[in-house]
Amino acid sequence: MIVVMKPGSTQQQIEHVIKLVREMGLKDHVIVGTERTVVACIGNDRFKDKSVMETVDGVEKVVPILAPYKMASREVKKERSIIPLRAGSTGTVGGKRVGVIAGPCSVESKQQTLEIAHAVKEAGAIALRGGAFKPRTNPYSFQGLAEEGLKILARAREETGLAVVTEVMSIDQVQLVCEYSDVLQVGARNMQNFNLLNAVGAQSKPVLLKRGMSATLEEFLLAAEYIMSRGNTQVMLCERGIRTYEEYVRNTLALAAVPELHRVSHLPVVVDPSQGTGKSYLVDSMCRAAVAAGCDGLIIEVHNDPEHAMTDGAQSITPKQFAEMMSSIRRIAQAVDREV
Ligand code: PEP
Ligand code: MN
Residue whose CA is at the smallest distance from ligand 1 atom 1: 105
Calpha distance 118→156 (Å, rounded): 8
pTM equals: 0.94
- The reported pLDDT for the residue numbered 43 is 81
With the C-alpha atoms ordered 176, 178, 182, 185, is the resulting torsion angle positive or negative? positive
Are the C-beta atoms of residues 318 and 303 closer than 8 Å to each other?
Answer: yes
CA 122 to ligand 1 centroid distance, Å: 24
Ligand 1 pocket, 250 CB below 6 A?
A: no
**What phi and psi values does residue 41 have, to the nearest 5 degrees?**
-105, 120
Euclidean distance between the first and the last CA atom of the chain, given in angstroms as a whole number: 37
Are the C-beta atoms of residues 33 and 76 closer than 8 Å to each other?
Answer: no
pLDDT per residue over 103-150, tens digit each?
Answer: 999 999 999 999 999 999 999 999 999 999 999 999 999 999 999 999
Residue ranges in the chain whose pLDDT is less than 70: 46
- The reported pLDDT for the residue numbered 259 is 98
Ligand 1 pocket, 107 CB below 6 A?
A: no
Ligand nearest to the CA of 311: 2
Calpha distance 336→322 (Å, rounded): 21
Query: Which atom of ligand 1 approaches the CA of 134 most closely?
Result: 5
Calpha distance 314→244 (Å, rounded): 19
